[in-house]
Structure formats: C-alpha cells, structure tokens
Structure 1
Amino acid sequence: MQKIAIVGVGGMGTVHYHNYAQIKKADVRAVVGPSESDQKKAKKWGVKVYQDLDTLLQEETVDLVDICTPTFLHVELALKALAAGKNVIIEKPIALHQEEAERVFALASEKEALVFVGQVLHFTREVEILKEAVQSQKYGKVLDAYFTRLTAAPDWSAEGWLFEKEKSGLLPFDLHIHDLDLIVSLFGPPKSYNYQAAGRKNSKFGEHYRFNYQFDDLNVGAEAAWYNANYPFTARWRVYFEEGLLVNEDELIFYPAAGEAVRFNTEAEPKIETGINLPPTAMFYHELSHFIDCAEREVPSDRITKEQVITTAGILEEIAGL
C-alpha cells in the first residue's frame, strides 16, 4: 500500500484523486492546498489538508508525493519531497530547464528515491499499439511520421500563469511536450531539429509552431497551436511504414498497401470520472497504477524513462527560448 500526499488540488490534482480512489494499493492520506476552495474539496474527500508541503512532511507519514501544481512550482516541491526521502510523481513537465530536470533525478539517485513524470499518452491504447508496431517492425520500418496538437489559447488559465513564459514555458511545454516526448520515446534523441513559429504581431507568444526532427534516416514533423480562434482541441498523428499507413484521428486505422483497412479497438477500462472538463477516461488510472506498481517494486518506470524526460526538457527549453 502506497500512502500518498497530493500537492495541488486543482484540475489535475482532482483527476489524480478520483483515480487513486479506484486503485487498491493507493491511499491518499493528505493534500496540500492553501485556498478556501482547496479546503472545501479536502473536506468533501475526507482527507487532511495542509497549507504547505513542509508542514505535511513533518506531520504525516507518506510514501509518495504527487505534485499537481502549476509548472513553475514543480522543481522546488520535488526537491523538498526527495530530500525527505519520498518518491515523487510530477505532472508534466518535470521542469522548464534541462539542468533542473537533471537536479531532480540526481537528488532522487542520492536519496535512493524514484521520480515518475506524468506523460499520460503512454497509457492510451493508441500509443501502446503505435509503440508495439514501431518496435516490432510488424509493418516494416518507419519512413515518415507527423504529429498534430491544436487548440484555442487557454484563456481559462487561473490568473493567466500559462501565458507567462518563465512560469509555463508557453505552448512548447504545455502542448507540444506530449508529442515530442512520444517522438523521443519511439525514435530516441533527434540528431538535429528546427522549428518555425507564427502569430499576431501583438501576441506575447508564438501561436502556431511547425517542428522538424531529423534522425539517421527519418524525418518527423509536428504542429502545435494555441490559436486566437475558437477551435476545438484536436490531436492527430500518422506514421508511414514500409507496408502501410497507421493513422490516429477519430479512430485508429491501418491502411495496408493492399487489402482492407484494419480498424483497432482502442477502448480501455475502467473509465473514471475526472471531476473536470474532460470526459471519463482510463488513461490516468493506468498511468497512476503503473507508477504505484513501480513504487511498490522499487523500480523506475520503463515507459517514461529518465533519458527521454531529460532529452525532451532540453529541446523544449531551446524552442521556448528560456
């Protein structure tokens, strides 16, 4: 049984709480949340609430600290938890600078603790099927790939911190990180890369990016956008293999060189209410179950590795201009 403290009980902290409630080996003992809303939420959940992590660590016995705060607080909180000898889960991104990501892993190594980073796409059936196809080469080698992640600018951001580069890393760290992390996990660190950004003259951030990552014999493209437009969230990818095209749009379909298209069943259970403006899904359940299992066995994650997390942070740091 893993005794857990959740730091930050906004949207993602709420998602994590609802999923832990369904995981047998997870026991949320307390949360950190200084606002009145946080206090009410903790009371509804029936868990203790603290104003800060320092006090919680002094008064509670926990095994794992789950950090669901705004991005700019991740490193400070992770270092505190690790210094106390606790394993940590950190919502993406781990940090806005490669050096900071390395510091977190270095302290974890020193304290013989574990760091898990919440890149949740690895726990969707679509990505599991893609990774298996790439690794097994069941459709031959990958010849080309393209990833798209587009949405309206996040005007819902509490106090607008997502629009402050030093706090969020802006679009590259908020949005493109999902696809870059997946690209790195599939193909390793790119040999080189380039990108272009576009946007209105009065915008304080790049609103639309195009990326190109070069590997030994492969180019991978990507797009990401925070549009000044009421455009629905859209995430798609296509991967071209020697023997056909695997496309993830509204459904996952493989189009072979000859014969009928193959449609995959990507439904996963259990679908758990998130408590936020996100439909019930199984991906957080499988992600957090994996982290809990790794913590129980005292082993790092084999799905989200230290190397891919640090590589991704370094590339995004340069793209975001931090």
Structure 2
Amino acid sequence: MVKTAMIGFGGIAQSHKNAHLQFEAEGREKLVAVCDIDPEQVKRRIKINLEDAPEVCGGHFNVYTDYEEMLRSEDVDLVDICVPSFLHAKIATEMLERGYNVLSEKPMALNSADCETMLAAYEKAKKNGKYLMIGQCLHFYPEYEYLKACIGDGRFGKVTSAVFQRLSGIPMWSWQNWYWDYEKAGGVITDMQIHDLDMARWLFGEPEWVECRASSKYTKFDNSHVTLGYDFPVTCLGDWTLRGVKFNMSFRFGFEKASVILDGGKLTVYPADGSAAYEPDYRHPHTGIAGEVGYLLDLIENGGENVKNTPVSAYNTIRLVEAIRESAENGGRRVVPTFVDEN
C-alpha cells in the first residue's frame, strides 16, 4: 500500500485529497498526513483544532503546519504537492532529491529553467525507481481521452478545427492573493489556459508557431486568446475576469464526419450527415485527478514506464507557454516555440 503525504491544503488540494481517500477506500493507498503553512486554512478545510498538531482528522490522516516535521514523523512513499505555483519547482525538486515519489500540481514551474532543474533531480531519482508526475490532469478526463481515441482511430475522419475555452470568475480566493501576482502565478495563460495548451500538444503534436493577444483588466494577462499553428484552425480562449461566473471548461471540435462538443459538462456528437446527435459512451469510474492519482499508484506499485503524462511533456508545455507569453508581451507577434525530444 502506498503511503501518501500532501503539502498544501488549499482549493485544488481538496480534489487531490478526495482522490487519495477514494483509493484508500479501495485498499490501495493510505493518506497518512497533510500539511499547510496556514493553520486557519486547514481549520476551514477540515474543521479541527491545530493547537496540538499533528492531530488525527476524522480517523484518516495527521495534520501539520511544517512539512519538515511531517516528513520526520511519517513514513511516506509519495508526496503530493498542492502549493502555489511559484513554489512547485522548489519543493518538487527537494522531494525528488530526498528520495520520494512526487505528484506536483501544474504548472511544472513558471519557467523552463526551473523545469530543467526538476528534471535533473528526477533523472537521478528515477535510477532508484522513483516517479515524478505533473498535474496535467486532462490526460485522464474521459472527454479528452475520447477525443484522443477519435483522432487515433479516425472514426470521424480528420480534424478540421478545434476551439478550447476555459472561463472563471476573478481568482480572489488564493493564499495572500498570490494569483494576482504575475510573477507568482503567470496570469491566466500559465495557471488556467495551460491545460488546453497541453491538450493541444497531446492531441495534435507540437505547433509550428503561436500568436497570443492578451489583455490585463485586473491582473497582468488575465484574458488571453491564443492561436496555434497547425494545418487547421486551433484556438484557445482563457478568461478569469468574469466576476460572478462559475468555472467552465468546454471545447468544440470539427471533424470531417462529425462535430464533437463539450458544453456544460456534457459531451455530444453531432454527425455531419444530419442524423441524430448523441452522447457517446465515454465515462469511467476514475476520472480527472482521481485517474491521475490511480495511474501514478499503478506505477509505484507495479513499476513500468509513464507513457501517458510524462515530466518531459510537462516541460515542453512550459516551453510553449513561454512562447505564448512572449507573443502576448509583443502585441500578438507570431513566435516560433522550440521543444525538446520526448523520446
């Protein structure tokens, strides 16, 4: 059984926690501890008193406010990192160097140089059978896996167009308001739109060029329109300026023989021959972050190679993000990104 500890217990960490507890219920994992620097946040999230930390939360896991103390006190196989983006690279690299398996939230880092430092630590850890996975969780969402299958087997012919859209209210919920600091979050491009940019790479390969027009209403680059250079139109829209709007992700894919649309959480196929639209059979029990965690648990338990969501792929996504930010800084000028070989 894999023993897991979490560093960071804010918003996205709750989805990670739920995934870990799901696999704990299945007898595959034990969430032994969580840590967050802000005791008030932990109180809000799990409603316990931390005066005598660590304490047992609901019989499930111990709670700490110092991850050094947590790691000294607990027997841990996997460290799940859900801290603010500007801390991902530092903590993930440290955990790899200390001999842990690591799951780290996206983005891998805020720049490619920090990614390279993390990858160097991973190459050493890998020799001892350790794994690193970055939380590009759309690889495990069934809607996007369905798209991957459609492209792979050609059931609807070739892709003719693709539009990704990701919308949110203003991110005012972060610890010390770090989302509003471009140097700590990277704007909507690096924090939110990165999911769709990563998906474009996963589905279509590397784009030849990028163009980005971005605006700054409340924070730097909080609205972004990206065009990616493929043989057909591919657009990614990201906006977190929409006060009062609940988070929404959607896509519209045109194929030669059908359109495939995700809207309002529902996936629908619209055949080009005019026959009735339908919802395909695409769901499975472990989706999104749970699918990501389950895949990593399989690797830790059984060995093998991570072929679905590799650290080098996450690094190349950051290289793409850097090219897009360069385009945005220059009023939408076309930029040619560079990538490293993933083989």
TM beyond 0.5? yes
- Unaligned 5+ residue runs, structure 2? 50-54, 330-343
> For residues 59 and 155 of structure 1, what CA distance do their matches in structure 2 show?
34
Give yes or no for contact 1:170–1:320 (8 Å, CA) kept in 2: no
Query: CA 1:206/1:26 → structure 2, altered by over 3 Å: closer, same or farther?
Result: same
| Equivalent position of 1:162 in the other structure | 179
The alpha carbon displacement at 1:17 in A equals: 2.1
Kept after mapping to 2: 8 A contact 1:115/1:300: no
- In structure 1, the residue matched to 2:280 is 264
1:248 to 253, 259, 262: 262
Deviation at 1:48, TM superposition (A): 2.8
C-alpha separation in 2, matches of 1:35 and 1:156: 14
Aligned to 2:339: none
Amino acid aligned to 1:260: A
Change in 2 beyond 3 A, CA 1:204/1:56 = same
Structure-2 residue corresponding to 1:110: 124
Asked whether the 8 Å contact 2:210–2:324 carries over to 1, the reply is no
What is the CA-CA distance between 1:26 and the residue it aligns to?
1.0
The aligned counterpart of 1:32 is 35
Deviation at 1:196? 0.2
**Is 1:149–1:236's contact at 8 Å kept on the other side of the alignment?**
yes
Q: Distance in 2 between matches of 1:80 and 1:245?
A: 45
Shift in Å, 1:285: 2.2
Are the structure 2 counterparts of residues 25 and 89 from structure 1 closer, same or farther at C-alpha, using a change threshold of 3 Å?
same
Which residue in the other structure is 2:52 paired with?
Answer: none
Match status 1:43 vs 2:59: no
Work out which structure has the larger RCO, using CA pairs closer than 8 Å and 6 or more positions apart in sequence.
1
Alignment-mate amino acid for residue 141 of structure 2: T
Q: Secondary structure at the match of 1:263?
A: coil
Letter in 2 for 1:193: V
Q: CA deviation at 1:313?
A: 0.8
Does the CA contact (< 8 Å) of 2:268 and 2:280 recur in 1? yes
| Identity score, percent | 30
Unmatched 5+ residue regions in structure 1?
Answer: 271-281
CA distance in structure 2 between the partners assigned to 1:313 and 1:179 by the alignment? 12
Q: What residue is the counterpart of 2:205 in the other structure?
A: 188
Matched residue, 1:295 = 300
Q: Output the aligned Cα RMSD.
A: 2.1
**Partner letter of residue 180 of structure 2?**
F
Cα distance in 1, alignment partners of residues 311 and 16 from structure 2: 22
- What's the counterpart of residue 208 of structure 1? 223
Deviation at 1:101, TM superposition (A): 1.5
Given that 1:148 and 1:236 are in contact with CA atoms closer than 8 Å, whether structure 2 keeps it comes out as yes
Matched with 1:279 is none
In 1, Cα distance between equivalents of 2:100 and 2:210: 36
How far did 1:93 drift?
1.1
Say whether residues 1:283 and 2:288 are aligned partners: yes
> In 2, distance between residues paired with 1:29 and 1:232?
33
> For 1:280-312, what per-residue CA distance to the aligned partner results, in whole angstroms no more than 9, with x for missing partners?
xx5332221111112212334322123321111
Q: Distance in 1 between matches of 2:84 and 2:22?
A: 25
Which position in structure 2 is the counterpart of 1:6?
A: 6
Which segments of structure 1 move beyond 6 Å, counting only runs of 4 or more?
none
Paired position in structure 1 for 2:140: 123
Aligned to 1:79: 93
**Change in 2 beyond 3 A, CA 1:252/1:188:** same
Give the partner amino acid of 1:44: C
Q: How many residues align?
A: 308
Structure 2 residue aligned with 1:20: 20
